[in-house]
Amino acid sequence: MSIRGIKLITVPVSDQDAAKQFYVEQLGFEVSQDSRMGPMRWLEVVPQGSPVGLALLPSVLGVPVGGLKGVQLHSDDLDGDCESLRAAGVKVDGPNDRPWGRDASFSDPDGNGFVLMAVHGGR
């Protein structure tokens, strides 16, 4: 096998403009691509410095809008990131203490679920 990693995760959304606003304005991600590919709009966002991005696309491959759950994002400052997300209007559950570290969870406007993680040693 020569699989080297994950490049992109598809996030099924109902409104690409609203999703773009959420991921860029509220989460602080950057737009890495926003273009037309025939009748389809390809919209990719990426956390600053991350090699893995998110494709914000209408429901594809049978995954319903809001059907993505449990995508884990890494945080070096979980408490600070939770405060920033709340200040941006994102409903956040946590931080929670876990045996492996700490986490918090939130959803995008379509109900796609994310877990913000800090391993032991992180705040």
Would you identify the CATH topology of the domain 68-123? 2,3-Dihydroxybiphenyl 1,2-Dioxygenase; domain 1 (3.10.180)
Query: Percentage of the chain with pLDDT > 70?
Result: 95
Whole-number Å distance between alpha carbons of 15 and 110: 9
Q: pLDDT category, 26, cuts 50, 70, 90?
A: very high
Helices (H), the chain: 16-21, 78-87
pLDDT in tens, 68-97: 999 999 999 999 999 999 999 999 999 999
Residues in contact with 50: Cβ distance below 8 Å, sequence separation at least 6, in sequence order: none
pTM, two decimal places: 0.90
Residue span(s) of the chain under CATH 3.10.180.10 come to 8-59, 68-123
Q: pLDDT category, 123, cuts 50, 70, 90?
A: very low
pLDDT in tens, 38-76: 888 999 999 999 999 999 999 766 778 999 999 999 999
DSSP-based helix, strand, coil % in the chain, nearest 5: 15, 40, 40
One CATH from 3.40.50.1000, 3.20.20.370, 3.10.180.10, 3.40.50.1220 for 8-59: 3.10.180.10
Q: Give the pLDDT confidence score for residue 90 in this predicted structure.
A: 97
Q: Give the pLDDT confidence score for residue 52 in this predicted structure.
A: 95
